[in-house]
Amino acid sequence: MEEKLQNLTFGKALLIGIAIAGTYWLSMYDDGVVKETQIKTIEAEITEQVKEIESINKAIADAERFQQKMNELGAEMERVLLAMPAQLTGLDLMSIISNEAKSVGAEINRINSSDKPNGQNSASDQSTFYEPVLVEVDIAGTYNQMMLFLSNLTRLDKIITTQRIELKLSPDSSPMSPKINMKANLLAYRYLPKSKEAK
Burial class (CB in 10 A: 0-12, 13-18, 19+), 190: buried
Cβ-based neighbours of 163, under 8 Å, separated by 6 or more = 117, 120, 134, 184, 185, 186, 187
- The whole-angstrom distance between residue 39's C-alpha and the CA centroid of its chain comes to 47
pLDDT in tens, the chain (199 residues): 666 666 667 777 777 778 777 776 666 656 667 677 878 888 888 888 888 888 888 888 877 787 777 677 777 767 777 788 888 899 999 999 999 999 999 999 999 987 555 444 444 455 577 889 999 999 999 989 999 999 999 898 888 998 899 989 888 777 787 899 999 999 999 888 764 444 4
Q: Where are the domains of the chain?
A: 31-83, 90-198
CA distance 76 to 82: 10
Cβ-based neighbours of 25, under 8 Å, separated by 6 or more = none
The pTM assigned to this predicted structure is 0.55
Homologous superfamily, domain 90-198 = Ribosomal protein S6/Translation elongation factor EF1B (3.30.70.60)
